[in-house]
Amino acid sequence: MTTLPVPVASAPRLPLGRVVATERRPNTPHTFHFWTAIDAAVGIGTIVRVEGSTPVDAVIPQVYGVVVEGFSYSDLESPLHDVLGYDGQPARAIPVPTERTEIRLYTAQVLRHVPEEPLQPVPMGQVYLADDHDVAMALRMDGYITGAKRTGIPVGVYRAGGMKSPILLDADFLVGPEAAHLNISGVSGLATKTSAIEWLLQSIFTHFPAHRGTVAAVCFNVKGPDLCFLDQPGQLTDADREVYDLLGVPASPFERVRYYAPYTARGHSLNTLRSHPDLAADVTPLTWGLSEVLQFAEVLLNKDDVDAKADALIDFIRERVVGRVFEDAGLARRHQVQSFADLDAWFRDVLRTLEDSSGDTWRTHHAATIRKVRNRLSNLSTRCAGLVTDDGLASDMPFGSFEDRAVYVVDVANVEEDAQDLVFARVVSKLREHLERRDLGVDHVIVFVDELNKYAPHDGADTYVRKMLLDIAERGRYLGLVLFGAEQFRSQVHRRVVGNAGTTLYGRMDADELATPGYQVLSPAVKARLATLDKGQLMVRHPHFTQPIFVRFPRPAVMTGREGVERFPQAPEPTVAQAVTRDLRRLDESIELGWVQQTIMLYDEPVVLAARNAVLRTRPDHVKAAFTRELQRRAAPAPRDAEAVAARPRALRPFAPDEYGG
């Protein structure tokens, strides 16, 4: 953990303004007004300190505030007077030897009173630009940025009057357990949201205190190549490096990044923009079999699909069939269902038994229900092709051996929506299971989800994914499961998800979004600033900060998605032989394309890919031998293949069309 210097008060400075109050515009304990010279370095978001002149209980009161509104006016009573002064001709070249008297009047919201009691209206006094020490005091950072148990996490720098003051969040309120979760909103196209998350993860990994345990991050890359190059260095300016130095964060890419992506539908290569030969070796296939998927069938099956009867049958299959030896007197043989292919064989056997028995039900399940569930479950591997395998082999994330300060990127950007939901539901559920058992490998996991308005919308269907996100938001902090969510429109995200975020970041906001009720607490000037924020600027709300604060953060020290795809262009879709060669060479560099072409020549493509997957999963010492063995084993006819061609008695009566489940 890197230690930041303790902020110290700067040398005495001249006041830049004076508190002013009138009967019509009085000061209160939470708001005050002050004026400055017109060239004072004060603007919306500037933090100031008021020094009172009259002691209260023998203490000179000091009040810290942040500027939320500004006014400027001259001694003119009416615009008409200026019109008269220029004879109504704005372009008229009238020499004006004296500038009109002009005032800069600011309204500030109180951040902190020192002493806190008695809480009184802000006194008349001189106003000073806050220095580093003042900023720390104003934002109550003094409670967690010093001492052996410090928990400060730099989020950026506050700039005013040529100063740069570090702004730190409290890890206990960012990662838990006091509060947790972070939400960031902002318009698309500025790359602020993703950059801010990348920067903040770097900061957390550097400054997360050892006495608070270990931490890792799981990032779902749901669009574009944004998160595909976290291990590659980015382009930084000198100003960026200065901020990195100031905040004690190394200006280097993430040291430990693990990438996971499902295969494409054809199964030749991984479905990721990180497919350049120089980088593809770092991406681990993410493939799940029947047992992994069936637990989350609810994610993919909507309520119309799964009524109570179908639900009962799915439960029966999950509890009694999958992963076990299943025997039934009526069935043609004993079944051991490990894959979708096995399950389909089981369904065929059950349906044939039904047909042979002339009955409508099998173990209380109606034939129509059985056909409907067969149809829906068999469909899963098609809908999630590349992610869900027919042969039951799984290649999963390393649940149980997560590493401290590692980023696990799950690239589902090019995957169908259903598969995205499935990946999200299963990964988060597994994280939760392991965190509950305290055997994940780390104490805290930050889950970054972009497009929250899509996955946890304010309105719309109550999906499995939304329920999961709500669960993380409301209960995750007790487990160490922390949600970092991003979206373009905060108002379109479920209010319980954003409401439970202890820390909120705002990039540049859309004017329509700012007009929604959630932003009513902000002054018009703060809204105007939010609508014009530049890249690298954020407004931060944090439990210790009584008012939002504007900060700047540096460019993340990782390669941007755009730069990454230019420098590491996506590889063309390989042939099956090329794909197998590339994948097997990760285990055995002696494998050549010619050998692979010759070896797979006599086998069907699905068999070749299944054999490859099996070898990649088992990582044998003798890769060539193992691959050949898998090919041969898979090419041999299985019982289900024999069943498919064996003669059997005809059904006594045909099924009605409606029995097929529509």
Partner 1 sequence: MSRCPPRYRGHVFSLVSSSRPSAQATLRILRPLLRSAPGAWESSEPLERVVARAESPAVAPCTLLEVAGARPIVEADTPTVSAFLDGVQRSRVLGHHDGTPLVYATVAAAIRERVDRSLHTWREPVVRPLLLVSQRALGAVWWHQLADAGIPLADIDASDDTGEASDIHPHAYRARALAQVSLEREQLERQLAARWCSEEARWLWIDGGISGNIALEVHARAFGVVKSHNTLYGDADSVRRVLALREGERSAAFLVGHRLRRAVASWYLRWRAPMAGDPLFGLVRVEVVPPPAVLDADVPATVLDEFSWHCDRLSAAILLERHPVSLPDTRWHTLAYGVYAVESYLKALIGS
Binding site for partner 1 (CB under 8 A): 75-78, 81-82, 84-85, 94-101
- When the beta carbons of 17 and 186 are compared against partner 1, the nearer one is 17
Q: Cis omega (within 30 of 0) on the bond before 123?
A: no
- When the beta carbons of 92 and 650 are compared against partner 1, the nearer one is 92
CB of 128 to partner 1, least distance (A): 20
Q: Cis omega (within 30 of 0) on the bond before 115?
A: yes
**Count of Cβ atoms closer than 10 Å to residue 363 Cβ:** 11
SS3 assignment, position 551 = strand
- When the beta carbons of 100 and 475 are compared against partner 1, the nearer one is 100
Taking only Cα atoms into account, the Rg of the chain, rounded to an integer number of angstroms, comes to 32
CB of 56 to partner 1, least distance (A): 20
- When the beta carbons of 87 and 459 are compared against partner 1, the nearer one is 87
Backbone angles phi, psi at 399, to 5 degrees: -60, 130
CB of 99 to partner 1, least distance (A): 5
- When the beta carbons of 124 and 190 are compared against partner 1, the nearer one is 124
Q: Which long-range contacts (CB under 8 A, 24 or more apart) does 240-246 make?
A: 240/554, 240/555, 240/557, 241/554, 243/156, 243/157, 243/164, 243/552, 243/553, 243/554, 244/554, 244/557, 246/157, 246/164, 246/166
CB of 121 to partner 1, least distance (A): 22
CB of 162 to partner 1, least distance (A): 22
- When the beta carbons of 85 and 460 are compared against partner 1, the nearer one is 85
Contacting residues for 205 by C-beta, under 8 A, at least 6 apart: 215, 254, 405
- When the beta carbons of 78 and 590 are compared against partner 1, the nearer one is 78
Scan for tokens 């007077």, then name that residue: 81
Q: Which is it for strands 256-261 and 406-411: parallel, antiparallel or unpaired? A: parallel
- DSSP letter for 353, please: H
Q: Rounded to an integer, what distance in angstroms lies between the CA atom of residue 78 and that of residue 229?
A: 59
| Spatial CA neighbour of 133 closest among 6, 315, 323, 292 | 6
CB of 79 to partner 1, least distance (A): 11
- When the beta carbons of 20 and 187 are compared against partner 1, the nearer one is 20
CB of 57 to partner 1, least distance (A): 23
Q: Rounded to an integer, what distance in angstroms lies between the CA atom of residue 65 and that of residue 49?
A: 6
| Spatial CA neighbour of 179 closest among 168, 170, 187 | 170
- When the beta carbons of 96 and 652 are compared against partner 1, the nearer one is 96
- DSSP letter for 385, please: B
Single-letter code of the amino acid located at 456? A
- When the beta carbons of 6 and 38 are compared against partner 1, the nearer one is 38
CB of 19 to partner 1, least distance (A): 16
| Spatial CA neighbour of 206 closest among 171, 179, 239, 160 | 171
CB of 94 to partner 1, least distance (A): 5
CB of 82 to partner 1, least distance (A): 8
- When the beta carbons of 77 and 658 are compared against partner 1, the nearer one is 77
CB of 122 to partner 1, least distance (A): 22
| Spatial CA neighbour of 502 closest among 145, 47, 171 | 171
| Spatial CA neighbour of 413 closest among 254, 288, 591, 227 | 227
CB of 76 to partner 1, least distance (A): 7
* Alpha-carbon distances, residue 203 vs 167, 403, 505, 561 (angstroms): 12, 17, 15, 20
Tokens read off for 350? 């059950």
- When the beta carbons of 100 and 334 are compared against partner 1, the nearer one is 100
The vertex-158 CA angle with 154 and 159, nearest 5°, equals 145
